[in-house]
Amino acid sequence: MKLRLFIAIPIEKSLADKLDSWNQQNSSPKLRLTKKENLHITVLFLGYVEEENLVEIKNKLLEISRSTKNFDLSIEQNNLAPPQGTKRMVWTYFQESREFKELADKVYQALGKYSREKVHREALPHITLARSKETLKKEDSISDTGNFRGEVIKINSLILFRSQPSKSGSKYSFLAGLLLKD
């Protein structure tokens, strides 16, 4: 059986609460908001992977977590996304981070063979707040970028999730959690 998988960094409940509140205040009929419990920072979306590969994926993530130190990310702003191309999402952007890029590179090198993304793109840390089937303009969704700029979050773990899409939004199931080293 194939499982739809991705590797993510969890966010603290207090930040999820703030982002969800911002989402509710800046909602528009064009937007499908991300559920508060689904907010995360994606490291790598693998796509559909044979269940028999789970043990190898977990072992590779364990190796990565043991060789990666905790680090901080600083919030830059909430804005339309992606940075290049058609704007159909709203993201919380983080300031560029060498540590995040190194982590994303390690994960891609170890697990890229399972990824539907066959070309490794520059890692851009972000949280997807909302999606749209239509192209978005600034006035569609963002009246204020929130008071998040400069807020620092501690990155100290990775999670392997299973994603099960449905008409009411994706349901994420926790498969493995791994702490980064102190």
Q: What is the pLDDT of residues 166-176, one digit of tens each?
A: 887 789 999 99
pLDDT at 145: 63
Residue pair 5/163 in contact by the 8 Å Cβ criterion: yes
Number of structural domains in the chain: 1
| CB 23, CB 78: distance < 8 Å | no
Looking at residue 174, its pLDDT comes to 96
pLDDT at 20: 94
Residues of the chain short of pLDDT 50, as ranges, are none
**pLDDT computed for residue 116 by the predictor:** 75
Per-residue pLDDT at 140: 64
Nearest CA-CA partner of 108 in 118, 98, 99? 118
List CB contacts of 124: < 8 A, sequence separation 6 or more: 82, 83, 93
Q: How many CA atoms lie within 13 A of 106 on its CB side?
A: 17
In angstroms, what CA-CA distances link 141 with 10, 64, 132, 145?
Answer: 25, 37, 10, 10
- Note the pLDDT of residue 142: 66
Quick one: three-class SS letters along the chain?
Answer: CEEEEEEEEECCHHHHHHHHHHHHHCCCCCCEECCHHHCEEEEEEEEEEEHHHHHHHHHHHHHHHHCCECEEEEEEEEEEECCCCCCCEEEEEECCCHHHHHHHHHHHHHHHHHCCCCCCCCCCCEEEEEECCCCCCHHHHCCCCCCCCCCEEEECEEEEEEEECCCCCCEEEEEEEEECEC
Contact 159, 8 (CB under 8 A): yes
- CATH code at position 122: 3.90.1140.10
| Domain that residue 50 falls in | 2-179
